[in-house]
């Protein structure tokens, strides 16, 4: 054996317990054991978030369907995966997962994609939400003026509704909820 042996660099695998010990005021997610700092959202992001939240919360409140929450709130999917969807919905039948954090998959998650979060929201979180059984995932692309609604069918996401620049998308989990692109992505 050669005297020059390459050793694999040890990479820390972050857990929910490690995450709870963080003492700074930064926002983080733990994705498959990887700690990722989250930048502060832009004002455009927050405006879109507010519009979506108001529409969803009003719909859910009126019909007494459960609870809608906005980021930052931790969603603990596993010991090595803690995320913060921009918006989430938990049905009244599953409100037991709502504590000081959410312990389990929400019924619906919304991510408003920014240029810096495209890969994470579009691919990594897509796979995580699918894997952990989030029944519905909305991907909002503000620059492109696109809203996609993905619904879980047989353990895989299927595109349920799509609107580009105009028109509306429809929820499969919140039966009757429709959102017009022009209302939220002006």
Give the pLDDT score at 117.
79
25 in a structural domain? no
* pLDDT reported for residue 121: 84
Within a domain: residue 21? no
SS3 20: helix
Identify the segments of the chain with pLDDT beneath 50.
1-5
Q: Tell me whether residue 180 is in a domain.
A: yes
CA 165 to CA 162: how far, in whole Å? 10
DSSP string, 99-142: SSSEES--SEEEEE--GGGHHIIIIIHHHHHHHHT-SEEEEEET
- Sheet with 66-70, edge to edge strand ranges: 66-70, 87-91, 108-112, 136-141, 146-153, 156-164
Domain span holding position 131? 41-184
Q: Which two tokens stand for residue 138?
A: 């909305």
Residue 152 falls within a domain, yes or no? yes
Give me the pLDDT at residue 1, please. 46
The pLDDT value recorded for residue 69 is: 97
d(CA 162, CA 119): 19
Residue-level pLDDT at 25:
82
Q: Which residue has the tokens 């580009």?
A: 164
Supply the pLDDT for residue 2: 46
Instruction: Tell me whether residue 12 is in a domain.
Output: no
pLDDT for res 31? 85
- CATH number of the domain residue 167 falls in: 3.90.1570.10
């Amino acid at each position: 054996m050669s005297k020059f042996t390459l050793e694999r660099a040890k990479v820390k695998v972050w857990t929910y317990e490690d995450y709870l010990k963080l003492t700074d005021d930064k926002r983080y997610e733990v994705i498959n054991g990887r700690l990722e700092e989250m930048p502060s959202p832009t004002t455009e992001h927050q405006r879109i978030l507010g519009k979506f939240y108001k529409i969803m919360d009003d719909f859910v409140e009126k019909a007494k369907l459960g609870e809608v929450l906005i980021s930052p709130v931790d969603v603990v999917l596993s010991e090595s995966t803690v995320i913060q969807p921009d918006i989430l919905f938990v049905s009244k039948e599953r409100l037991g997962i709502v504590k000081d954090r959410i312990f389990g998959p929400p019924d619906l998650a919304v991510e408003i994609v920014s240029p810096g979060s495209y890969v994470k929201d579009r691919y990594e979180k897509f796979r995580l939400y699918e894997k952990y059984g989030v029944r519905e995932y909305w991907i909002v692309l503000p620059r492109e003026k696109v809203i996609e609604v993905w619904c879980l069918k047989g353990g895989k996401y299927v595109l349920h509704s799509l609107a580009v620049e105009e028109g509306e998308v429809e929820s499969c989990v919140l039966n009757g909820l429709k959102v017009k692109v022009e209302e939220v992505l002006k």
